[in-house]
Amino acid sequence: MAMCSSSFSSSSQKTWIVHGILAGTAIAVAIGASAYLGRSRKFRSRVVGIIPARYASSRFEGKPLVQILGKPMIQRTWERSKLATTLDHVVVATDDERIAECCRGFGADVIMTSESCRNGTERCNEALEKLEKKYDVVVNIQGDEPLIEPEIIDGVVKALQVTPDAVFSTAVTPLKPEDGVDPNRVKCVVDNRGYAIYFSRGLIPYNKSGKVNPDFPYMLHLGIQSFDSKFLKVYSELQPTPLQQEEDLEQLKVLENGYKMKVIKVDHEAHGVDTPDDVEKIESLMRERNLS
């Protein structure tokens, strides 16, 4: 299977993911959770992947349906997600019948959600409530990452499964220096135990020279995130927080309310579609790598 990043090998990426998972396991042992995990191998075992999709967008209206080498972007994201081994089910959650009709056409299960959802996490929660089966973990898969790696999906799921004191997990990858001041590239800082400290659209950490330090290992946040399903319901009931609103980053509401978020580090060259100009870049990359 072709990998997203041309700079790193499959074995390198998997090593990073395994490293993050093993670190989470060590933490679980340290807090006395190993006994619990030993008793029950079914902890957070039922997993659903939800791809929230909306038609309206200030920067790119109709983005989920944009064609990328002959397929709608939402279809490419769905196909990549289906390759993840930890997901028992993958659905698309949308409030738009055009997106729903397209997704049903290529075989995806669709959950219709209300237009009042303020973000993808709230849309995931509504979709979860409408699903007939019960799930322990919900993976929020960004629909604008058509080259998302199945291994990264599996990595964030396993990280949450082995870290009982976390309610949320996500992934980061090395940030390119030229993306340091791009507000569309969300940065993340992590503590020594692999828990998120903060996310920002600005450069973090920010040194007193005011310039990007090419030797510092800045981290780029990848949009994929997984939630404990019980916490997802709590999240939707929490009021918006100041940092969340200022940065316009929904994951900050988790941190501001004192919940823990596990972060894994992966080698992945992010190729999200934020604007129409990104479509041509994605298609050129796919042609170079013979991805159809």
Residue with more model confidence, 2 or 200: 200
C-alpha distances (whole Å) from 56 to each of 61, 172, 264 are 5, 27, 31
Tell me which amino acid residue 155 is.
Answer: G
pLDDT one-digit tens code per residue, 62-117: 889 999 999 999 999 999 999 999 999 999 999 999 999 999 999 999 999 988 78
Enclosing H/E stretch for 228: strand 219-228
Nearest to 250 by CA among 234, 265, 235: 235
Which tens digits make up the pLDDT trace of 159-200?
Answer: 999 999 999 999 999 999 999 999 989 999 999 999 999 999
The confidence score (pLDDT) of residue 20 equals: 53
| Residue 199: both structure tokens together | 């996310």
User: Could you tell me the domains of the chain?
Assistant: 43-281 (3.90.550.10)
**Any idea which of 9-13, 69-73, 223-227 has the lowest mean pLDDT?**
9-13
Instruction: Determine the Cα–Cα distance for residues 59 and 61; give it in Å rounded to an integer.
Output: 7
| Predicted local distance difference test score (pLDDT) of residue 228 | 96
Lowest mean pLDDT among 103-117, 167-181, 215-229, 268-282: 268-282
DSSP notation for 144-191: T-TT--HHHHHHHHHHHHT-TT-SEEEEEEEPPGGGTT-TTS-EEEE-
pTM surpassing 0.85?
A: no
* pLDDT value at residue 150: 95
